[in-house]
Structure 1
Amino acid sequence: MRENKNFDYMIFFSTIFLMIFGLLNLYSVSKELFLKQVIWDGIAVFGTFFVYFTKENLIKKMIFPLYTLSILLLVSVLFFGVRIYGSVRWFRFLNVSFQPSELSKLSLVLVLSVLFLKKDIKSVLFSMVLTIIPVLLILKEPDLGMTVLHIFIWFILLVFSGITLKIILPLIGTGISMLPIFYFFVLKDYQRARILSFLNPEKYAKGAAYNVIMAKNTVGAGGIFGRGFLISPAVRGNYVPKMETDFIFSAIGEQFGFIGSLILLGLYILITIRIFSKIRYYKDDFWRMVSIGFLAVFVFHVFENIGMNIGIMPVTGIPLPFVSYGGTSTFVFGLMAGFFLKSMALADKSRKVI
C-alpha cells in the first residue's frame, strides 16, 4: 500500500511529543483530568490511523454526510445539550462530554475543499451558505471563538482556492463593513466585555480581564528556565482559572519557563513548516485545500490560545492543540493529523524535497 511507504514520522512523533508535553502539564494541574486525557489521547491516535488507512474514495463519499451530521448535532445540542457557564455547547453522556462544533470545523474544511474545486461564483455563494448555517447555530450556543474560526476557515480556503480577485475583494469588503453590526447587534454583553477588556485590561482587572492578567503574571513568573515541575506556586494553588483548558500555556510558562515554551512552539512550527512546504507536491487540488484548511485551523488555535495567555489576543475559549484538556478537541485534532499524514502519503514523492 502506497501510504505505508510514505508515512511522515516527523509529523507523527511531533504530535506524540505535544501530547506528552500536554499530559505532563495536566498532571501538575489535575491528576484526575490527567487520567481522562490519557484515554482521549489514545482515542486521538486511533483516529489518526483510522483516517490514514481509510481509502481515499471512501473519505470523499463521507464528506457531505459528515457535514449534514454536524449540522444536525449543532441543532440538537441547542435543545438537548447541557448548559455550562451560560453556554449550551456540549452533549453529556454519563461522564463524557461531546462538543458538536469541533466536528463542524472538521466537516466544514472538507466540504469547502470540494466546493472550491469549481472556481466560479456559484460555488462561492454555495460555500457562503454552508458556512453561515453552522456559524448561526454556534452563535446561538453562544461560542464566539468557534464562530470566528468557522469564518476564518471559509476566508482562508477562499483565498487559496485560486478564485479571481474580482470575486474575493468585494466579499472581503462586505465582510469588513459588517463588523460594526456584528459587534453591536450579534455579540452578547459578556463577549463585548472580553473584547473591551483586551483593549483596556486595567479597567476590567476585577472582571473580564482577570483571567488574562493572572495568566500573564504566571507566564512571566517562569522566567528563562521555569520555577519547576510540580512546585510552581500558581500551578499548585490553581491561581489561574481554567488552567487545564484555556490557560494551560500559563502552566507551561511558569513550570518550564521561556525554554519550555520555546520547545512547545518549536513543535508547532515544525509541524506547520513540514506541511506547508509540501503542499505544492500534493496529489491534487482537493488534498491541497484539505491540508491548507486544517493547517489554518491548527495555526488559529495555537496563535489564539497562546495569544490570550500572554494578553495579545482576546479570550475566546480556544484550546491549545494536543495540550489543553478536552476530549472532542483532542479527538478531532487527531483526525486532522490523520489527514495531514494522508495528504503527504499521497504526494508525488518523485518531486520530493527534503
Structure 2
Amino acid sequence: MESVRREWKYFDITVVVVLALLAVYACLAIHAATAGNHSANIPSHVMSKQIAYEVLGFVALFAGALMDYRWLRKVHWWLWGISCVLLVAVFGFPATMGAHSWISFHSFSFQPSELAKVAIVVWLAKYMADVEEAEVPDYRLRKQWIFLPIVLVPFALTFKEPALGQALVMIAIFLTMYSVFARRGPYAVLMLFVLGVIALGVLATTVFTKQTLAFVDVLMKHHILKGYQAYRILTWVDPNFSQDKYGYNIHMAQTAIGSGELFGEGYGKGVLTSGGWVPNQWTDYIFSAIGEEFGFVGSAILVLLFLILCHRLIRIAQTTTDPFGMYIAVGIVGMFAFQVFENIGADMYMSPSTGITLPFISYGGTSLLVNYFAVGIVLSVGLRRRRARLQAQFETSKGRLA
C-alpha cells in the first residue's frame, strides 16, 4: 500500500486539468452545434450522451493509469490480432454514412479503427523496446521488414471501409515512433521521405494545381479513391472548386471561423453554427463552432491546451527509463498531434479534409473512450517511472558484479 502511495506522487495532475478543460470545450461546442440544428443525422439526446461519454472517459483514464502498462507488452500480438479481426468484421454490418466503420448492436456501436491505432502503438513499442534492450541492438533495415505488415494490414482494412483519415493516423503513428527509433541512415531516409511529402504537397497546391487536379481525377476513375475522397482533395487544392456542392462543407466551416474574428460572436450567437449551416459540425467540423462563437482567442486557448497535453506526455516519455513506456508515450503523442493538425487544418484549407475527428472535442463514444484510455496508459508510464529507474539501476549493478 505504501509503494502505491509513493507512486501516485508522480501522477501528473496537469494532464487531468487539461482534459477537464477540453471536456468543457467539447460540451459547449457540441451544444452550440446541435441546439439549433434539426438535421436527422444528429443522434438523439446528443448532449446527455456526450456528458455520459465524458464521465466514462475519465473512468477509462484512471483505469488506464491504475493498470500496469507493462502488461500490454505480453499481449501485444493479441491486441493487434483482435483489432484486425474487428476491422474485417465491420464489413458484415450495414454501412453508416457510406462507410463500414462501425460494429453496431441496437443502440451500441463500436469503431474498431480506434482500437487498431492503439494496438499499432503497443506492437511497435514492444518491438522497438526489444531492439534497444538487446545486448547488441541491431537497427539495420533488413531487420525491420516486420513493420510493413504490422502497419499496412490495419491501414489497408481501414482504408477499404473507407476511412481515409483513420488510415492516415496509423501512418502518422508509425512515422512518429520510427523517427525516434531510427538511427543514422534509416533516420535520414525517413526525414527525406517526410520532407519530400511536404514539398510535394506545397507544390501540388501552389505550382502544379492543374496537374494535381488531373492526377486526382485519374485516381478516382481507377477506383483508387472514392468520389467523395477525391472531391475533398480537389477542394483542398482549389478552394474555389464546387463551393456549392462538394466544397460546401469546407467553405462553410472556413466562413464560420472567419466570422468569429478576434473574440467571437458569443456563445449561442454564431449565425452559421446556431442555424445549422455547417454540415456535420458536431463531429468533423467542430472547430468551426469554436472559431465562430469564441473567436481567435478561444480557438488559440484550445490549441494551447492541446500543446500543454502533448508537452506533458512528451515529458513523461523523456523521464522514463523504460524504452517500452517511452515508445508508447511517443506513439500516443504522434496520434493526437496528427489528428489535431489534420482536423483544424482541414477547416482552414491547410490540409485536405479526411474525416478525422478532433480528439476530446468532437462527438463520439469510441474515440473519446479510447483517447482517454490512451492518455491513462501514458500516465501509467509516468506513475511507474521510479520503479523502472530502480530496476534499471539494479540490472546495471548486477551486470557489473557479474
**Structure 2 length as normaliser, TM-score?**
0.81
Secondary structure at the residue paired with 1:92?
Answer: strand
Q: Distance in 1 between matches of 2:388 and 2:77?
A: 32
Q: Distance in 1 between matches of 2:21 and 2:54?
A: 11
Corresponding position of 1:15: 19
1:179-228 alpha-carbon deviations (Å, 9 max, x no partner): 99998353223212211110102122122211111001101111111111
Tell me the CA shift for residue 171 of structure 1: 10
Q: Distance in 2 between matches of 1:175 and 1:82?
A: 40
Tell me the CA shift for residue 116 of structure 1: 1.8
Residues 166, 99 of structure 1: CA spacing in aligned structure 2 closer, same or farther, 3 A cutoff? closer
| Residue 274 (structure 1) aligned with residue 312 (structure 2) | yes
Corresponding position of 2:161: 141
| Residue 312 (structure 1) aligned with residue 350 (structure 2) | yes
Corresponding position of 1:62: 75
Q: Does the 8 Å contact 1:90/1:99 carry over to 2?
A: yes
| Residue 48 (structure 1) aligned with residue 61 (structure 2) | yes
Q: Distance in 2 between matches of 1:137 and 1:166?
A: 27
Residues 1-354 of structure 1 aligned to structure 2 (within 5 Å): 1=4, 2-30=6-34, 32-79=45-92, 81-117=93-129, 118=131, 119-121=139-141, 123-166=143-186, 169=189, 184=219, 186-348=224-386
Q: Does the 8 Å contact 2:234/2:241 carry over to 1?
A: no
Q: Does the 8 Å contact 1:63/1:111 carry over to 2?
A: yes
Tell me the CA shift for residue 348 of structure 1: 4.8
Residues 151, 168 of structure 1: CA spacing in aligned structure 2 closer, same or farther, 3 A cutoff? farther
Q: Does the 8 Å contact 1:26/1:325 carry over to 2?
A: yes
Secondary structure at the residue paired with 2:101?
Answer: strand
Structure 2 residues without counterparts, runs of 5 or longer: 36-44, 132-138, 202-211, 390-402
Residues 230, 85 of structure 1: CA spacing in aligned structure 2 closer, same or farther, 3 A cutoff? same
Q: Distance in 2 between matches of 1:15 and 1:161?
A: 29
Q: Does the 8 Å contact 1:121/1:167 carry over to 2?
A: no
Residues 349, 144 of structure 1: CA spacing in aligned structure 2 closer, same or farther, 3 A cutoff? same
Tell me the CA shift for residue 311 of structure 1: 1.7
1:297-318 alpha-carbon deviations (Å, 9 max, x no partner): 0101111111111221111111
The RMSD of aligned alpha carbons is: 2.6
Q: Tell me how many residue pairs correspond in the alignment.
A: 350
Tell me the CA shift for residue 289 of structure 1: 0.7
Q: Distance in 2 between matches of 1:277 and 1:199?
A: 37
Q: Distance in 2 between matches of 1:217 and 1:288?
A: 41
AA aligned to 1:162 is A
AA aligned to 1:298 is F
Tell me the CA shift for residue 164 of structure 1: 4.1
Q: Which runs of 4+ in 1 moved over 6 A?
A: 174-177, 179-183
Secondary structure at the residue paired with 1:97?
Answer: strand
1:66-113 alpha-carbon deviations (Å, 9 max, x no partner): 11110110010012x231222111111222221110110011011011
Corresponding position of 2:208: none
Q: Does the 8 Å contact 2:68/2:380 carry over to 1?
A: no
**Structure 1 length as normaliser, TM-score?**
0.91
Q: Distance in 2 between matches of 1:170 and 1:222?
A: 39
Residues 103, 123 of structure 1: CA spacing in aligned structure 2 closer, same or farther, 3 A cutoff? farther
Q: Distance in 1 between matches of 2:84 and 2:112?
A: 8
